[in-house]
A and B are shown apart, each in its own frame.
Chain A
Amino acid sequence: MSFLIGLIFQQSSPPDLDEMLKQFINKLRKPSPSMKAFRENGGGGPGKGSGVPAVSLTVLVLLVCTVIVGGSLLTGFYTVDQSERAVTFRFGKPLSVSQPGLRWVFPFIEDYRIVNLTGVRTIEIGYRGGQRNKVARESLMLTENLNIIDLQFAVQYLLKDPEAFLYNNRNPDEAVLQVAETAMREVVGRSRIDFVLYEGREEIASATLTLMQDILDRYQTGIFIQQVAIQNVQPPDQVQNAFEDAIRARQDRERKINEGEAYANNVVPQARGQSSRILEEAEAYRRSRIAIAEGSAERFNQLVVEYDQAPQVTRQRLYLDALEGVLANTNKIIVDQSEGSQSLIYLPLDRLLENRSLNRPANSDITLNVPLDSAEPATSRLSLEEIRNEVRNRLNN
């Protein structure tokens, strides 16, 4: 019999079940007196398929009992998914936390609860589904200076301790929502609006996460907060425009500063360039001064050598050369004062200078000139009066 049942169950059941059935049957067989009859009459019955009428009532009852017991033992099978853990209990007492796979508990005596351990759960606060779908009750909150902001966030969590999750809170998932709200409002209530809106988003989120974890640990929920993500934070609709203008003002300020910097970046390098030019010019001046000085000195030195050999002649020649050069290009009036004449010479200097300003070629207009380069004097000597008249006439023309 045991062999047969063993055969029947061999293909579909794990060995431990098989073992247990065997034991069960053995226990039944020993104390029961009717077992003998069962063995004699129905021993080959099921195998041959022809022994049915020969089976006694006792055998039938036993068979039914066996099927019921076997079937109910089969109900003890359950599977634990990769993301799950099962906590098993025997008479209500925690037995073990079982790992993923096909598991079995003894029906009636043992019991199990499956908990999704690694599956990440998400709750949304301030919105549902999309961010368009706001829940104002949850999203509007007060900041430190009694300003109101509109903040939507999501919390992702998973379980770190399935037993704590099961034993300590009636509705742990609901607790996460409540704790998320109170924690976020507490953190925001301690912060300034600009901090929440702009620079402090990350800090707000992490402070909320820490606070949430603290509270949930205090409740021993066995929950691990993985992330607090601020989806959206903005000033309420009523004050949006003013806030946007403030942001624009900030951009204006940046722009102004950039303009100033652009100016500085233009002016300073230009000044540097100018500075280099001034320095180079100075250097050029210095070099040229020295060069000229050296040239002049050398020239003079050479002349001195010649001069020392024939001072008188050289001196005179130089003098005449120079004056020749000077007088060749100038208008001249020669005045003789040696006769002891006391007459006053009138020279209309203003007119002469006026004349000069007309920028006429020098030699062409006043014939009083004595061209020194010509061999013969072009003019005879004139009296002062004549000169005066002549000059006046010339100028008047």
Chain B
Amino acid sequence: MNTQRLVIGLFGIAVLLVLIVRSVMTVYPWQHAVILQFGEIVSVRSEPGLYFKYPWQTLLYLDSRILTIDTVDADRFITTEKENLLVDSFIKWRIRDPKQYYNSVRAEENLAQVRLLQIINRNLRDEIGKRTVKDMVSGERNLVMETVRDRATATAEELGIAVLDVRIKRVELPQQVSENVYRNMIEERRRVANERRSTGDAEKEKIRAVADRERTVIIADARREADIIKGSGDAEASRIYAQAYGQHPEFYAFYRSLNAYTNAFGQNNDFLVLDADSDFLRYFEDQFGDQFGN
């Protein structure tokens, strides 16, 4: 009797527990909770917390975080100059409207990704087709990414999805083009190397020329200075001479002439032809110095 009651009691408790568990639900901040009743959405809970539902209603958790589509392989696109370009991108998206998301793709993430990828790829193809390789690599990369994202938004909205970002990762040239790029790079480096070597020579010559000029100028300046100094010496000397000799010009002429003779003719191998009539030889033949009648 007592045991029977206990068993019934325990069974009752178990049933109660199951009912409680089936009618209580928690939602974490990274979740949307979709409450379905016989396959139809009754309500969506996106705020975290504790909620209740009827035990027969089923529950579907969706991810409210940002999700990524990152394809493994780069896709081939054709640019405006008919160049093949391998572009690798990734897409960041999130479920914006769980109800619509459920209705459009039955909350199948794979299906959503495929649909999204189709839209994005089509838009990428359009945008890349309008641009050159160079635009894609540098100039208009951001513009392309933004345009593609904005274009995809409308379609994505129908899926209950928000496309947050479309970002291009790798932009690669096909093998054939890469070879050309390498060749160009080699040529370009050669040009740089040649230019460097010849500018090196030019620089060197220039520095040498400047140095030579400087040397010439320095020496010329020194010579000028030197001549000025010498001139001042000459002038000073001249003044001293003039001052001294000016007192007695006639005697100075005589005195100076004698000095000059000594210096000019005193050398060993000079050969003098003297007139016997000269003053010096006055007494040479006549002791009274009178033989020529003067």
- A interface residue numbers (CB < 8 A to B): 57, 89, 91-94, 137, 140-144, 146-148, 163, 166-171, 174-175, 178-179, 181-182, 185-186, 189-190, 193, 215, 218-220, 235-236, 238-239, 242-243, 245-246, 248-250, 252-257, 259-261, 263-264, 267-268, 270-272, 274-276, 278-279, 281-283, 285-290, 292-294, 296-298, 300-301, 303-304, 307, 311, 315, 318-323, 325-327, 329-338, 347, 352-353, 356-357, 359-362, 370, 377, 381
Hey, which chain A residues are within 8 Å of B133, CB to CB?
146
Specify the chain A residue showing the minimal Cβ separation from B271: A331
Is B225 a contact of A242 with CB atoms below 8 Å? no
CA distance in complex: A340, B237 (Å): 48
List B contacts of A334 (CB < 8 A). Answer: 273-276, 281, 284
Asked if A190 contacts B251 (CB within 8 A), the reply is no
B60 at the interface (CB under 8 A from A): no
Residues of B near A381 (CB, < 8 A) are 285
In the bound complex, CA of A48 to CA of B210 (Å)? 113
Check B68 against A246 for contact (C-beta < 8 Å).
Answer: no
With A137-B170, A219-B66 known as contacts, the answer to whether A267 contacts B215 (CB < 8 A) is yes
Q: In the assembled complex, how far is the CB of residue B164 from the closest CB belonging to chain A, in whole angstroms?
A: 7
Question: Is A243 touching B68 in the complex (CB atoms < 8 A)?
Answer: no
Partner of A337, one of B251, B276, B279: B276
* B284 → chain A closest CB, angstroms: 7
Q: In the complex, which residues of chain A have a beta carbon less than 8 angstroms from the beta carbon of B210?
A: 264
Would you give 10 A-B contacts (Cβ < 8 Å), ordered by A? Answer: A91-B50, A148-B181, A252-B197, A260-B208, A293-B238, A296-B241, A297-B240, A334-B284, A335-B276, A359-B269
Chain A CB within 8 A of B212 CB:
yes
Q: Among the interface residues A148, A321, A322, which one has the most CB atoms of the partner chain B within 10 A?
A: A322
Say whether, besides A185-B169, A297-B244, A331-B270, A169 and B262 are in contact (CB < 8 Å).
no
Residue B40 at the chain A interface, CB threshold 8 Å = no
Q: Which of B219-233 contact A (CB under 8 A)?
A: 219, 221-223, 225-227, 229-230, 232-233
Known contacts A257-B207, A274-B222, A337-B276; is-contact A219 B271 (Cβ 8 Å)? no
CB distance from A316 to the nearest CB of B (A): 10
Q: Is the CB of A282 within 8 A of B227?
A: yes
The 10 A-B residue pairs with the shortest CB-CB distance in the complex, in nearest-first order: A286-B233, A253-B200, A260-B207, A282-B226, A297-B244, A293-B237, A264-B211, A91-B50, A275-B222, A256-B200
Chain A contacts of B248 at CB under 8 A? 304, 307
Instruction: Provide the residues of chain A in CB contact with B273, threshold 8 Å.
Output: 332-335, 347
CB distance B267 to A253 under 8 Å? no
- Point out the residues of chain A lying under 8 angstroms from B26, CB to CB: 91-92
The reply to whether B241 and A254 form a contact with Cβ atoms under 8 Å apart is no
Give A281 Cβ to nearest chain B Cβ, in Å.
7
Could you tell me the distance between the alpha carbons of A235 and B192 in the complex, rounded to whole angstroms?
A: 15
| A362: B residues at CB distance < 8 A | 268-270
Which residue of A has the minimal Cβ distance to B226?
A: A282
Residue pair B270, A318 in contact (C-beta under 8 Å): no
Beyond A256-B204, A259-B204, A327-B274, list 11 extra A-B contacts (CB 8 Å): A91-B50, A93-B48, A141-B170, A182-B169, A193-B185, A218-B164, A245-B193, A260-B208, A263-B208, A332-B272, A332-B273
The answer to whether B176 has its CB under 8 Å from any CB of chain A is no
Nearest B-chain residue to A220, judged by Cβ: B66
Cα–Cα, bound, A178→B259 (Å):
107
A263 touches B237 (CB 8 A): no
Judge whether B208 and A245 touch: CB under 8 Å: no
Cβ of B29 under 8 Å from chain A:
yes
B182 and A236: CB pair below 8 A?
A: yes
Asked whether B182 lies within 8 Å of A292 as measured between CB atoms, the reply is no
Query: Which of B223, B230, B237 is the most central at the interface, judged by chain A CB atoms within 10 Å of its CB?
Result: B237
* Residues B269 and A331 in contact, CB atoms below 8 Å apart: yes
Count residues of chain B with CB under 8 A from any CB of chain A.
113
B75 within 8 A of A: no
Please report the C-alpha to C-alpha distance between residue A252 and residue B170 in the assembled complex, in whole angstroms.
37
Contact call A286/B236, Cβ cutoff below 8 A = yes
Q: A178 — which chain B residues lie within 8 A by C-beta?
A: 68, 70, 90, 167, 169
Most chain A Cβ neighbours within 10 Å, of B29, B70, B212, B227: B29
| Cβ contacts under 8 Å, A279 to chain B | 222, 225-226, 229
Q: Closest CB of chain A to B162's CB: distance in Å?
A: 12
Contacts of A169 in B (CB 8 A): 65-66
Task: Choose among B208, B222, B240 the residue that contacts A294 (Cβ–Cβ < 8 A).
Answer: B240
Structural contact, A329 and B68, CB atoms closer than 8 A:
no
Contact A245 B189 (CB under 8 A): yes
- Shortest Cβ distance from A193 into B: residue: B185
Identity of the chain B residue whose Cβ is nearest the Cβ of A191 in the assembled complex? B138
User: Could you say which residues of chain B place their CB within 8 Å of the CB of A271?
Assistant: 214-216, 218-219
Is residue B168 contacting chain A, with contact meaning CB distance below 8 A? yes
Given A186-B142, A218-B164, do A89 and B68 touch, yes or no (CB 8 Å)? Answer: no
B254 within 8 A of A: yes
Bound Cα distance from A146 to B171, whole angstroms: 11
Which single member of B218, B221, B234 contacts A268 (CB below 8 Å)?
B218
Bound state CA distance, A279 and B184, in angstroms?
A: 61
Determine whether the beta carbon of A283 is less than 8 Å from that of B229. Answer: yes
Q: Which residues of B contact A361 (CB under 8 A)?
A: 268
Closest to A258 in B: B204
In the assembled complex, how far is the CB of residue A378 from the closest CB belonging to chain B, in whole angstroms? Answer: 12
- Check A315–B219 contact: CB distance below 8 A: no
Q: Measured between alpha carbons, how far is A312 from B109 in the docked complex, in Å?
A: 143
Which residue of A89, A246, A250, A281 has the most chain B CB atoms within 10 A of its CB atom?
A: A246
User: Measured between alpha carbons, how far is A392 from B194 in the docked complex, in Å?
Assistant: 79
Closest-CB distance, B192 to chain A (whole angstroms): 5
B118 near A: Cβ within 8 Å?
no
Q: Which of B193, B212, B254, B266 makes the CB contact (< 8 A) with A330?
A: B266
A194 to B281 alpha-carbon distance, docked (Å) = 99
Instruction: Establish whether residues B225 and A332, one from each chain, have CB atoms under 8 Å apart when the complex forms.
Output: no
CB distance from A93 to the nearest CB of B (A): 5
